[in-house]
Amino acid sequence: MPLKVLVTRDFDHMSEVAAGTVTETIVDTLSKKNEFVLGLATGSSPTGLYKHLARAANAGRFDAGRVRSFNLDEYVGLPGKNAQQRVLHPESYCYFMVRELFGLLETSFAETCVPYGCLIDQERLIRELEAHPRDWTELGCNAGRWICLDAAPASEYLAWIRLEVLDGYADKIRAAGGIDLQVIGVGGRGHVAFHESGIPFENSRVLLVRLGDNTVANAVADGHFPSEEASPRYAVTMGAELVYQARQVVLLASGARKTVPVAESLLMDPTPDVPISYGQVYSARGGNLMYVVDRVAGEELLANTLSLEKKGIVLEDLS
């Protein structure tokens, strides 16, 4: 199936077009099976889509009670003395999803799942990593680092994280039958969720990631946390390989900060330096991938339509 790019006028138009695709897919899939498995992202990109999606569900376009959702990522190290306080922190991705989508639904989803990052005590994690250096390997070369835990760590705490937090989330997705449609955004370095630039593609299922200094600094600069000391230093995230195992992926991008990574992800060869470029591999293997971008984010693509055509990428300018 060819990789398709839809260029829209602006954020609102992008949200409307993407929501139409997602809603149509849910309706069509629920006509063929009992439940739809929806992959969700956080950040500013999908917020408009979520409002349209909630309105469609509330208007009866589809039965939200037959939708099960899985989010891409969650912080480790949010302020709070226990998991409950961390989950309810206003910067948690659980809180974000309640505010932007779940709380807007008149009928709740069958189940909503977010990676179990809030269960991890960051201070204890750091102590265990320092005390058991042979239990893990650090992978990555640019931004954040994948803390790849051994299959059988000597540390009981690290073994619990590997089994219950990381493998447990991937197993839950598999038990649900896999994700029917995954919504993703794109970071300024071409990353997807917390699969940061430079982290390898291979075996990237659910990852424990140590956040790069730039990621932490940006979180403070954007007003999410009052200081770098108060900002989380780790996260649990789906990796690119797992993201692109969904039966359909819809990528959203809006604004000038996304212009370069969007262009690099399609005009260059796939590389871990631009994690969303793995979509080219996914598409070549038959995956259903659609980019929905506004005109600013798609500026370089519009200027290189011949290059896209040579790669078999279909671009439609709806702007």
Per-residue pLDDT at 1 exceeds 80: no
Q: What 3-state class would DSSP assign to 192? A: strand
pLDDT for 274: 96
Whether residue 239 contacts residue 198, with contact meaning beta carbons closer than 8 Å, is answered with no
Whether residue 91 contacts residue 224, with contact meaning beta carbons closer than 8 Å, is answered with yes
- At 249, the pLDDT band (50, 70, 90 cuts) reads very high
CATH of domain 4-317: 3.40.50.1360
Q: Give residue limits of the domains in the chain.
A: 4-317
Average pLDDT over residues 156-161: 98
Instruction: Rounding to the nearest 10 degrees, give the CA dihedral for residues 251, 254, 260, 263.
Output: 40
Q: What 3-state class would DSSP assign to 109? A: coil
- At 219, the pLDDT band (50, 70, 90 cuts) reads confident
Alpha helices in 193-311 (DSSP H): 213-221, 240-243, 259-267, 278-284, 299-302, 305-310
Average pLDDT over residues 231-251: 97
Average pLDDT over residues 85-105: 97
pLDDT tens for residues 175-212? Answer: 999 999 999 999 888 999 999 999 999 999 999 999 98
- At 101, the pLDDT band (50, 70, 90 cuts) reads very high
Residue 296 in tokens = 């600013």
pLDDT tens for residues 259-311? Answer: 999 999 999 999 999 999 999 999 999 999 999 999 999 999 999 999 999 99
pLDDT for 114: 98
What's the DSSP call for residue 164? I
The count of C-alpha atoms lying within 13 angstroms of the C-alpha of 115, restricted to the half-sphere facing its C-beta, is 32
Average pLDDT over residues 16-30: 98
The count of C-alpha atoms lying within 13 angstroms of the C-alpha of 170, restricted to the half-sphere facing its C-beta, is 20
Average pLDDT over residues 151-178: 98
Per-residue pLDDT at 312 exceeds 80: yes
- pTM of the predicted model, to two decimals? 0.96
pLDDT for 146: 97
Q: What average pLDDT does the chain have? A: 96
Per-residue pLDDT at 142 exceeds 80: no
pLDDT for 165: 98
pLDDT for 239: 97
Residue 1 in tokens = 């199936």
SS (H, E, C) 19-55: HHHHHHHHHHHHCCCCCEEEEECCCCCCHHHHHHHHH
Whether residue 208 contacts residue 146, with contact meaning beta carbons closer than 8 Å, is answered with yes
Strands 67-71, 73-76: pairing kind: unpaired
Amino acid at 271: T
Average pLDDT over residues 130-142: 94
